[in-house]
Amino acid sequence: MFGLIDHLKISHKFAVVAALALPMFGVPTALLVRTDLAAIDMARSEAEGMPRAATVLRAIQLTQQHRALSAGMLGGATAMEAPRQAKQAEVEQALDKVAADSAAWPQIAAQVADVRSRWKSLAAAVAGRSLDGRQSNAQHTALVSEELDALGLVVDAARLSMDPEPAIHHAADAVLQALPRLGETLGRMRAQGTTLLQQREATPPERAQLASLADSARMRRA
């Protein structure tokens, strides 16, 4: 073989060397480029997903605030009616923004559509005082649970829960999963406490539920 190469022209010898070298350098280079492109694609997906996740978080926060104001208003605190009405408008605007952001994701759009439908029914019932504080708290809590599910779908769709870098993965999990659920536990305590203060009494099951929420909050915080 070397004898054959010796008889080749210089240009042909370079061509042979290049042909032999190409697989040695080409394959690792291709793998490196593929890895880098995948990392860039994930970073782009995460960058697009964070503002959408923040929009859902804002809707959750406003719904929780509306729950607390509704509990007070339905319990007889008439001064909370005006702030509740203003908060209702904020929730509706936030959910409109969530719907616009999720339009490109069919599964998330369907979840958000269900949330908006439930919200409209709940807001109308609260405004019409057709339910009491306990019922309002329960329905708000069910609605927030659906919003948290929608947040989870956004996190997964944007691949925020799949980052291979441990620091980023755990930070995203803390900010987009653990903390919102801790906030919801505290929100439920606030709303239930408001209702009990308005009633000036608490049944043993209500006391037990409040204590259970406090324990859950401590565990989630830890």
Q: Model pTM?
A: 0.76
pLDDT at res. 90: 97
Asked whether the beta carbons of 112 and 99 are under 8 A apart, the reply is yes
Q: Say what the pLDDT of residue 143 is.
A: 96
- pLDDT means per 10 residues, the chain with 222 residues, are 56 58 60 52 66 93 94 89 96 95 87 94 95 92 94 85 77 86 88 82 86 86 83
Torsion sign across C-alpha atoms 65, 184, 142, 146: positive
φ/ψ of 191, rounded to 5, equals: -65, -45
pLDDT (0 to 100) of residue 59: 96
Instruction: List the structure tokens of 95.
Output: 């959910």
pLDDT at 28: 63
What are the Cα distances from residue 17, in Å, to 26, 28, 108?
Answer: 14, 18, 55
* CB distance 102 to 112 below 8 Å: yes
Give the Cα separation of 127 and 112 in Å (integer): 22
Measure Cα distances from 41 to 38, 158, 178 in Å: 5, 11, 26
Contact assessment for residue 74 and residue 126, using Cβ atoms and an 8 Å cutoff: yes
3-state secondary structure of 104: coil
